[in-house]
Amino acid sequence: MEVPMKNICFLVLFITLGIAGIDGVYGDGECGKSSPDMEAFKLAPCASAAQDEDAGVSDRCCSQVKKIGQNPSCLCAAMLSNTARSSGAKPEVAVTIPKRCNIADRPVGFKCGAYTLP
């Protein structure tokens, strides 16, 4: 009877550590507990602006970029995410959006993958 109880205790400990690892390590990425793909959904108002540098940038887009851009690493991860790419966003165009929104405190020169925020 003692052996199965040890196995059960080990299993409970293993599950507890696994859950703590998911919340503590895997949940805290560039965008905190949110994934870059989830943040990219918030940038939906920027879809046309991320595909064409000559397209207008809406106030809703600029508002979201300013909010997410408080964490430049998260903004870059969202702009370079699979969700952004699958929506047709061009990374070289997407990184120009903060400048096109005239965001004064944007992270100029911030390295965003292979691109640099202007």
The predicted-structure confidence for 78-105, as pLDDT tens digits, reads as follows 999 999 999 999 999 999 999 999 999 9
Task: Say which CATH topology domain 31-116 has.
Answer: Hydrophobic Seed Protein (1.10.110)
Confidence at 12, pLDDT banded by 50, 70, 90: very low
Mean pLDDT of 60-79: 97
- DSSP character string of 52-92: -TTS---HHHHHHHHHHTTSHHHHHHHHTSHHHHHTT--HH
**Integer Cα distance of 108 and 105 in angstroms:** 8
Q: What is the mean pLDDT of residues 12-17?
A: 36
User: CA-CA distance, 88 to 86, in Å (whole number)?
Assistant: 5
Evaluate whether 98 touches 65 at the Cβ level (below 8 Å): yes
Residue ranges per structural domain of the chain: 1-29, 31-116
How sure is the predictor about 28, in pLDDT bands with cuts at 50, 70 and 90? confident
More confident residue, 19 or 84: 84
9-18, 74-83, 93-102, 103-112: which has the minimum mean pLDDT? 9-18
Evaluate if residue 9 carries a pLDDT over 70: no
Q: Is the pLDDT of residue 19 over 60?
A: no
**Residue 40: pLDDT over 90:** yes
